Amino acid sequence: MRFRELSGKELIDISQGERLGILGQTDLEIDPKTGKIESIIVPDYKWFGVKKGEQMEKIHWSDIETIGDDMVIVNPRTNEKSE
CATH number of 42's domain: 2.30.30.240
What's the pLDDT at 31? Answer: 95
pLDDT (tens digit per residue) in 18-71: 988 888 778 889 999 999 989 988 877 555 555 555 567 888 999 999 999 999
Beta-bridged to residue 10, according to DSSP, are 22, 71
CB 83 within 8 A of CB 73: no
Residue 45 located in a structural domain: yes
What's the pLDDT at 51? Answer: 52
Q: Which domain holds residue 62?
A: 3-77
- Give the Cβ contact number of residue 76 at 10 Å: 19
Residue 82 located in a structural domain: no
What CA dihedral angle connects 81, 7, 29 and 54, to 10 degrees?
-40
Instruction: Specify the number of domains making up the chain.
Output: 1
